[in-house]
Structure 1
Amino acid sequence: MQTHLQFLASVLVFLFVPVLSQLDQLMYAGFKDVGPNNLTLDGTAVIEKNGIIRLTNETNRIMSHAFYSLPIQLKNSTTGKAFSFSSSFAFAVVSEFPKFGGHGMAFTIAPSKHLKGLPIQYLGLLNSSNVGNFSNHLFAVEFDTAKDLDFGDINDNHVGIDINTLKSNASVTAGYYTTDSTKQDINIKSGKPILVWVDYDSSVNLVSVTLSPTSIKPKTPILSLHMDLSPILLDNMYVGFSASTGMLASSHYLLGWSFKINGPAPRLDLSSLPQPPQPKKKHMSLIFITGISLTASVIVLCFVVFGIYLFRKIKNADVIEAWELQIGPHRYSYQELKKATKGFKEKELLGQGGFGRVYKGTLPKSKIQVAVKRVSHESKQGLREFVSEISSLGRLCHRNLVQLLGWCRRRGDLLLVYDFMANGSLDKYLFDDAEIVLSWEQRFKIIKDVASGLSFLHEGYEQVVIHRDVKASNVLLDFELNGKLGDFGLARLYEHGANPGTTRVVGTLGYLAPELPRTGKASTSSDVFAFGALLLEVACGRRPIEPKALEQELVLVEWVWEKYKQGKLLEVVDPKLNGRFDECEVIMVLKLGMVCSNDMPTIRPSMRQVVMILDGEVELPNELRKPGIIDSQEGFDDFLHSFGTSSFDKTSSSSYLGNRDVNTNTSSISFANSP
Structure 2
Amino acid sequence: MYQLTMMLLLFFFPTNEVCQGPEFNFNELLYAAGSANLNSNGLFRISNSTSQTMGQVFYNSPVQFKGSANGSVHSFSSTFVFAIVTRYKTTSGNGMAFVLSPTRDFSNADATQYLGIFNTTTNRDPKSHIVAVELDTVQSAEFDDIDNNHVGIDINSLTSETAASAGYFQDDGTFRNLSLTSGDPMQLWVEYDSKQNLLNVTLHPIRVPKPKVPLLSLQRDLSPYLLEYMYIGFSSATGQLTASHYILGWTFKMNGTAPNIDPSRLPKVPRFEQPWIRRTKGVLTISLTTSGVTILIILSLGLWLFLKRKKLLEVLEDWEVQFGPHRFAYKDLRTATKGFKDTEILGKGGFGKVYKGTLPVSNIDIAVKRVSHDSRQGMREFIAEIATIGRLRHPNLVRLQGYCRHKGTFGYISPELSRTGKASTSSDVFALGVVMLEIACGRRPILSRASQSEMVLTDWVLQCWEKGDIMQVLDQKIVGQDYSEEQVELVLKLGLLCSHPVAAIRPNMSSVIQYLENVVQLPHNLLDIAKAREILHGGTESGVCPESCSVAPLIFTESFISHGR
What interval of TM-score do these two structures reach, taking the shorter chain for normalisation?
Answer: 0.3 to 0.5
Normalising by structure 2, report the TM-score. 0.45
TM-score, with length taken from structure 1: 0.37
Rg larger in structure: 1
Say which structure, 1 or 2, has more relative contact order (CA 8 Å, 6+ apart). Answer: 2
